[in-house]
Each structure stands twice: as structure tokens, then as C-alpha cells.
Chain A
Amino acid sequence: MGQEVVAAQGISKSYNSVVALDAVSFTVRPSEVYVFIGPNGAGKSTLFNIIAGVMKPTSGSIRVLGGSPFDPSTRLKISYLPATPPLYPWLTVMENVDFYASLYGFNRNTVRQEAKWLFEKLGVQELATRLSSKLSTGQMKLASIILSLAIEAELLILDEPTTALDPAMRRSVLELLRKKVSNRVTILMATHLVDEAEGLANRVAIIDKGKLIAEGSAEELKKLYAPPAVLVIKPVPEQVENASAVLKSRWGNVYSCNGEVHVHTDDPDEDLPKTILILGEKRVRMLSVSVVKPTLEDVFLKLTGRRLEE
């Protein structure tokens, strides 16, 4: 099916001495939701700035929708939501919508119509006429989401669209994004939230320290990098390190983070009693022990040795 929406080849970007991106290559197909997950400073925003045509890479090549993002006619088909709300504080939200629409040369009323629909869908009609400087953090985020979605684009680049939103609002926004995809829009998104990535993405890319370390559908990634099950042990706080050390002497895939010890296992039925037994012998007091299905978090843990979320 058709050509790629984004084709990045060996993209590197350095800020003076900081290497933000190191030879990143990937492709995004039409009507796909492609989600980048990675910790703070991984290079997601830098990458998005390059794809949106705002920033030139130090090296590597980038094609978007068959053209260069540094060509204005390509950008006509892109709508970018930067991580920080790009609002003019002295304008109302709708005036901000009008302003950006005019930069695309789009008909004001068409874009307004779409924006109105989005305001209604999210149940925040009253925001339209409010001054942007008078909005709360989450409302600013909502306003900039509406600003970006109201533009009829073929590619949406969304940098952390749901941070600062409450859970209900986050669900509504994700719902809207799904609707966009069913209208043949391609979405490129960055997030810190693995469930968001799993719920929405066709494919996920894991990025860390400027490197793209894994790519594929959530299922593929889990199959490749996560075990069938994960034992989650929560010892009393002062014994976390002790417990982790004890378990590491028996199993290879043991990770401790945020007061929990995760043991990746192929056979939970056998390993669960064993773990409890060993920890009991060493007099480790446990608050809870459970067996859970792996998530992308476990993939990330496996790949980087660190956790992404709390």
C-alpha cells in the first residue's frame, strides 16, 4: 500500500556536545499510529522537530509524505503539536485557532467548524472564547490539541498530547485520535505512558539515549523481549535491595524499581512458590506477591534495565 508517510534514514542530531539522536532510522506507513516511548531526554521531541521541518538533522535524511519537511508545501499536510502549548496568551483559544489556520491558508470557517466540533466532542465549548492566558495547564493542553486537530492534515505529529490531562479527558482525546485514524490520518506520537501506547499504537518504537532500540507492534515487542509472565514482589521497603540480591542469585531476569522486584519468568506456576520459599528462608518480609501479564514496561525494562513509569 502506497509510499511511506515518514522515512527516516540514519538521523543524528547534536546540540553542541550533547548527542540527542544517534542514527535513528524508521518508517511510518499510511493510516498508522506510530508511537515513540522513551524516558526524559531520550530524544523524542528532537526527532519530532526534525520530522515537522522545524529543525535540520546534523546528518541523515528525512522524507515526509513523499517530500522534504523543509519544503512548505510538504508542511501544508502536517500538523504538529509541540509538547509545550504554542498559544498566544492575549488571544482567545478560537483566535489562536484562526491564526494558525491562516498560516496554512485554510478557509477560516472550515477550520472553525472543525474546531467547534472538537470543543463539543471534548465537552469544553466554554474554552473557545476564553483568553489563553487565563487557562489552567490542562486546559492549555486541550486548547493546543484542538488547535492541531482542527487543521486538516495527513500527518499528525503529537508530542506528549495527553500529559497534564485528567484520566477521563485523556480517554476522550485518545478516542478522537482513533477517529482521525479511521479518516486515513497518520499519527506519530510520543508518550511516557505504556498503556496509552499499547491501546493506540499499530507500532511502537522504543527510544533511549538518542537510539532507537526496538520497533514493532506491542505484541511483537512483548514476544521478543518479554517473558510470558512477570512475578511482581513487593517487600517491605527496607528489604527491597536484599530481596533483589537474593533473587538475582537464582534467576537471570530480575529487575528492581520503585520498591518492587520484577522477575521475568517462562513458567510462573513453578517459579512463584520457589520465589516465596527462597525469600522466606532469607527472612524477607513481603507486602504482596502477584503474577501479571507483561506490558511494554517490561519490554523497556528488559531492554534498558530501567522502568519508564512510576
Chain B
Amino acid sequence: MRIKPMVSFIIRDLKLMTRDKTFVFWLVAWPLIWIFMTAYIFVPPTGDGGTIVLNLGIVNLDSSQTPLNGSSLIKILEEAEYNDSKLFNVKLYQSEEEALRALRRGELDGVIVVPEGFGYAVINPVEKARLHAYVGSRTPESAQISSSIIIGFLERFSEGVSFKMVENAVNIIKWLPISEEEKLWFNATVQGIMRPLDLTVDHVSPEFFEDRVRTLGWYTIEAIGMMFLYFGFNSGAILVVSEKERGTLRKLFSTPLTEGEFLVGSFLSQLTTLLISALILILVGVSPAVGARIVLDPLNPIHLLAVAFMVCGALMSMSIGALVSLLSKTVRGASGMGTVLGLLLSFTTGIWFPLEWMPQPVRLLAVIFPPAWSIETSRRILVFETFAETLILDSVKIFSSTAILLALALLTYRIRIKQYAES
């Protein structure tokens, strides 16, 4: 087998890849659309764009010169944070009417009115401090969210005010002739009445959101798997029939080219195309535009094994494409069937959509569909840096099914070449 003709097959097809827009679309653009959809719609980035910031109107009528007055409330509201991002956009209004008009126009999510003398009332044990809040409703959901955030915040604030008052009360009893121990006991009791329950809350988000970068890595490899499937099926299906339809098959075999060189050359060139596209997808996936996490340490044998699994996935897809070629004698037919079947299988075998979404009988497909194993195993390594204890068994399964499918593909192609050259 000569190297030169095989290299020229690769060069020939790389030129096709760069010159034919439909190839660029199917190889790179279409999978990228899915990766970006995942990154910005299905697993949206958190941060400024992700959390809710409420527009809060404040009407401060308080002019008390006490430590806790209307101005300090505004400061607290402005500084309130959740997960490192601001909770409120505070806007000041001169009168209640003005603020309510803005609320009705939908410009605000809520309005808090701080009445005159609020600051004094806080430190005055006789007078009860009052605050009044209005909650807007731009949409039914937002009303619910706004009201619970605003009410929750005000409750915390009310609690803070209570502590202040307890402190004052304790300051008063400091002068009473009771023992230190009794004073402490008094202090604790009053605080206990104020806050009978010590409520602690921890936020637990699903792993999904917690590990967005890995999720994106997962989907990036899935997009590659999907591309391997439909493009591998498609190119495997048309490998011989396209030469026949173009009128090049007979010219090819009138040169010293052997059947083996033709098949290995064509297969290698398609594999190169798939792998280059996969590399582009990985590079875009890990770029800041998507931000996926994929680990690939060339010195780590397990990682190299994962790359080998990816290559197997590509080879198996192309080989199955060869079998698809038996179903049609035209490029249109074979190509259409390859693409549709590839997309269908990438959706039903857990390569794109989670397998759990599929009805039970469909899940069986993934069990008997070797390309799904190779994609699954390699992404577990490349994204989560873990592998099952069955790694050795998995490798054997993947490599042997690749070998079997390749052999079947070569057999199919030989039959096809003979048919097409001889008739």
C-alpha cells in the first residue's frame, strides 16, 4: 500500500471541506449552534445577567438624626447582596404618589415608604417604628418573587431593629441592682422572645448549575458525537456511490490505484475531516465564548485512551454509514438516509439528549449502539476526569466493535465497488 495516493485523498477532501459551504455548515456550524444554544439558553451563565435585581423605589420622609434612620436603611438596601450580586436597584422619590406612579408604570418592582420620625421610633421603646411597602407586579411570577424578596428583607431588617431595642433595654437594666448572671439571663430571654427560632438556611443548587463549565464540556463532546454520527454516516454512505455518480470511479481504478489504497485513503481522509472538525469544536467549546471545561493532558495515558475512543466513534460512524450505503444506489438517497439516521440515533442513544428522557424501549438502542459507548466513555474521562472500574472491559468492547464494524464496512465497499465498476 502506497502512502502518496492516500495523502492525496486527504488533500483532495480537505479542499472540499474548505470550499464547499454545506460541508462547513454540517461539520462546524451546525454543532456550534447546538453548543451555543446550550451555553446561552439551556445552561445560561449566572452573574449579572442571571440573578434578579429588583428596582426598588424609596420615599424617605424621615429626618431623624439617630444611628438607624431612613438614610441608613437606604444604605443597607443598596448594599444588600445575594451570591455576590446586588439585590436592589434603589431609586429615591420625593413623595409617595410619585413613587406609586412609577410602580404602576412598571418601572419599579416595589416601593418602601419610610415615615417621618422612623429613626426616633426605632430607639423609642414606647413608639412602634413603622415601614410601609408596596409590591408591584410586572408579571405574576415577578410579583411573587418581588414580594418574597422585599418582605424577606424587611423581616430581617425588623429583626435587626428588634436587636437594637433589646440592646437599649439591656442598657437600661444595667443600672438595676441585680447580679451579672441575672443580667445575662435577662438579655438572653429578651433576645429569645424576639427570635424564638434559630433558623439557618443553606442554599443547595443542583449539580447541573453548580458545575456549568463541566456541563458545557459535556455538551461540547456531545455535539462532536452528534456530528460524528450524522456526518460519519453520511460520508460513509456516499464514499463509493459519489465516485460512481461523479464519473470518477472508473478513472480511479484505471490508474495503478488498488482497491485497498482507495478504501484506506478515502477512509483516512474522511476521518481527518471529522477529527479536524472535532478539534475546531473543542477549541470553540473551551474558548471564553462558551467556557466549557475539557481536560486533555497528552502525557496522561487515560486521556489518550479517551482520544482513541473518540477516533473509534468516528470510525464506527463511518463504518455504519458504509452499511447504510447498501440501502440506496444514489448519492441523494444514501446521503439523506445517512444524515437522518445519524441525527435520529444521536438523539435517541443518549449522545445528545439524556437517555433518561427516552422511553424504555428506545433506551435499549444505546445499549446496543457502540458509537454511543465510545462517546460516553471518552467524555466521562475528558470532562469529569473519572472512569468506570470497567474501563478495561469498556476498551475491549469499543476496540473490538470498531474492528468488527470496520471489517463489515470494507466488505460492503468491496461489493459496492465491484457492482458499480462492473455495471
Chain A residues near B (Cβ < 8 Å): 15-16, 49, 52-56, 72-73, 75-76, 78-80, 82, 84-91, 95, 98-100, 102-105, 157
Contact = CB atoms under 8 A, between A and B. Distances in A.
Given A82-B254, A90-B15, 5 more contacts: A54-B253, A54-B254, A90-B16, A95-B15, A102-B8
Contacts of B247: 82, 84-86
B251 A80 contact: yes
Interface string B238-266: 00000000111011111111100000000
Contact of A90 (B20, B253, B255): B20
Interface residues of B, number: 26
Interface string B100-138: 000000000000000000000000000000000000000
Contact of B256 (A49, A73, A86): A73
Nearest to B250: A54
A103 B257 contact: yes
B277 to A, nearest CB: 17
A99 B4 contact: no
Contacts of B254: 52-54, 75, 78-80, 82, 157
Nearest to A101: B8
Given A52-B254, A76-B256, A86 B8 contact: no
B184 to A, nearest CB: 88
B8 to A, nearest CB: 4
A89 B19 CA distance: 10
A79 B252 CA distance: 11
Contacts of A91: 12, 15
B257 A72 contact: yes
B250 A82 contact: yes
B4 to A, nearest CB: 5
B84 interface: no
A104 B250 contact: no
B255 A103 contact: yes
Given A86-B251, A90-B16, A56 B422 contact: yes
B393 interface: no
A55 B5 CA distance: 21
List 6 A-B pairs, minimum CB-CB distance, nearest first.
A86-B251, A80-B254, A102-B8, A84-B247, A52-B254, A72-B256
**Among B15, B247, B248, B251, residue most surrounded by chain A Cβ atoms (within 10 Å):** B251
